A and B are shown apart, each in its own frame.
Chain A
Amino acid sequence: MIVTSIAIIGVFLLLFAAFIVKDIVAAKRSVHKTVHYSVRESIGAYLMLFPALALICLFVLLPIVYSLGYAFTDYYLLSPNDVGFIGFDNFADIIENIRKHGTVYNAIINTLKFVVFVVPLQIGMALGLAMLVNKKARGMGVFKVMYFAPVVISLTVTSYLWVRILGGGDSGLLNSFLVKLGSEPISFLYDPQGAMYWIIFVSAWQGCGYQMLIFLSGLKGIDSTLYEAAELDGAGKGRQFLAVTVPGLRSVLTFVIITVFIGACKVMVQPMLMTGEQTFTITLNYLMYIEGYTYRWVGYSSAIALLMTIAIGAITFLQRYLLKEED
């Protein structure tokens, strides 16, 4: 592992050196000496770039290269000197697991469920809230702060708080009221049908205030005379929303959809802390963590990670393409 790492960093340094030489040669050859490098300035630049480049190499580039490479090995964390290249075996295992409706299958289904529901829910709530607090009435600023409040607490706090609210038996907040009303206590978070939806709900509750602020700055940027013109033309509220608000928010909307989507694909903390490892709430990122960290099968875990990255990258690209095309 250390040898491979040194080799990868060596290749990086060689590339960097090659580009430096190329630039110097080009400067020497330029006819009117338009490009001129000062030795002092260059050495200063390298020294000041060194901390950033060293950290990028170690903690950004190496992990990227390894996440590609490990996926094709049987790397077990505790035996780093016994890593074998096994081709596509990890991927074959994953496909086999999906066919047998195993954990990977569950993780894919749960992640898809989360993404498909949380993205429209959270963005819809955020847009609604933004339009509400954007109304010109006294005191809307106070409401804005309240709607934003859940963003301030971390995902860890959110998860542990909602565990107490949705807790099973009659000790949970919600159940205590249901029992008072004569209902049986419901184990919200251990119900295979419903648990994932509660996680979706809690995630949207916690996160939407942030996108509300982004939408709000977008709404402020829309020329208010456009609404007046639309009203003169006899457009109702719904028509105004579609004809003025949505086009006015296009670039903001693109940004929000893509960031919320990518964040949703990576969901892990909420199922981890709210239900623990359960077939009905495990997500892909969480599974990747369990395989790579708890069971230490870095190779298999990296294969899952690689598939995830490819899927996220492809869908993000598609979103960008579709959303930009209409401009």
Chain B
Amino acid sequence: MEREHILRRTKFISARVILYLFSVLIALFFIFPLVWMVVTSTKTEMQYANDLGSFATFIPNFQELSTFFDNYASVFTQYDIWQYALNSFGYAAAVVVGNIVVNALAGYVMAKFNFPGKGFVTFLIMFLLIVPVETTIIPLYSIVHTLGMSGTVLAVILPPLVSVFNIFLFQQFFANISREYIEAAQLDGASQLRIFFVIMMPLSAPIVATVATFAFIGVWNDYIWPTMVLPNPQPGQWPLYPIQAALTTIQSIEGVTTGEVMASLVVTSIPIFLVYVFAQKYIVEGIGAGGLKI
């Protein structure tokens, strides 16, 4: 009996050891590039070159702590990455706020209002949800160009404001909110806009958070569109490029060191990293909501 127990225990432990070993190996595969990125961002070009090809390439620069943050210093002071980061925050703030107001208003109307032509708008939304529009970036560019918006921040902010999928999400959400809230407020003489902003928006906080999180990530990570519609940064002027586009600019600066490139990659990733840490719940909910689409 005792013997059998020990046998089972050994079997269990060895299974666990294999499981953890396996998990650690896979974890190394997924995080070694990220670790290397952060580690290299602390090194001078000399140290980087010396450490290449040995295990030291994965150890941060602990020998010369005085130069530990030098790459970050030069990325901020020489390459002005903070200006691009501020731009990105600005674009993201405008798109997140605008996206929520525009789409929540539309979703609210579709869920709670009765008006002639509603069938047409419903059809339009359903049509745009299903129809595969994978490649309209060039026509979109030509429209923005014709409207005289290319080269201005409007070109980055206006197109992502509307999202048919978000309208649909808000509509589903508001449909489940009882009419009594609206009727009570109407009796008090509140206007429609007031009802929307003072009653409906606070009630829809969870969905607003999900939409805001995804909109922020989308704008922050967008690369192609901003580089198409915004002018290349000129020396001595405040650039219009967001931070992802600035990575290309920084990459192509003559004499930029590997450490500086890595520092710029780290700075670019930190805000999104924080979003994933603090808005985890909404991201998981959003991933679930994506499944509604099908």
Contact = CB atoms under 8 A, between A and B. Distances in A.
Interface string B124-168: 100010011111111111110111000000000011011010010
Interface string B181-207: 000000000001100100000000000
B57 interface: yes
Given A70-B139, A147-B30, A305-B136, A49 B105 contact: yes
A279 interface: no
B103 interface: yes
Interface string A114-156: 0000000000000001001101010110010011011011111
A306 to B, nearest CB: 8
Interface stretch (A15-23, A102-110, A190-198, A232-240): A15-23
A59 B153 CA distance: 15
B287 A213 contact: yes
A16 B120 contact: yes
A293 B251 CA distance: 22
A67 B135 contact: yes
A289 B137 contact: yes
- Interface of B: prevailing SS: helix
Contacts of B294: 251, 254-255, 258
B54 interface: yes
Contact of B143 (A52, A62, A209): A62
Interface string B274-286: 0010000000100
B26 interface: yes
A217 B291 CA distance: 11
A209 B30 contact: yes
Contacts of A252: 291
A143 B119 contact: no
Interface string B15-39: 0100110111011011101101100
Interface stretch (A40-48, A85-93, A223-231): A40-48
A129 B26 contact: yes
A37 interface: yes
A288 to B, nearest CB: 6
Interface stretch (B60-68, B69-77, B78-86, B261-269): B261-269
Interface of B: 16, 19-20, 22-24, 26-27, 29-31, 33-34, 36-37, 40, 49, 52-54, 57, 101-103, 105-106, 108-110, 113-121, 124, 128, 131-143, 145-147, 158-159, 161-162, 164, 167, 192-193, 196, 220-221, 223-224, 228, 244, 247-248, 251, 258, 261-262, 265, 268-269, 272-273, 276, 284, 287-288, 290-291, 293-294
16 contacts: A1-B146, A49-B121, A59-B158, A132-B26, A147-B26, A149-B30, A150-B34, A153-B265, A156-B244, A205-B30, A217-B287, A265-B134, A269-B224, A305-B135, A305-B138, A309-B133
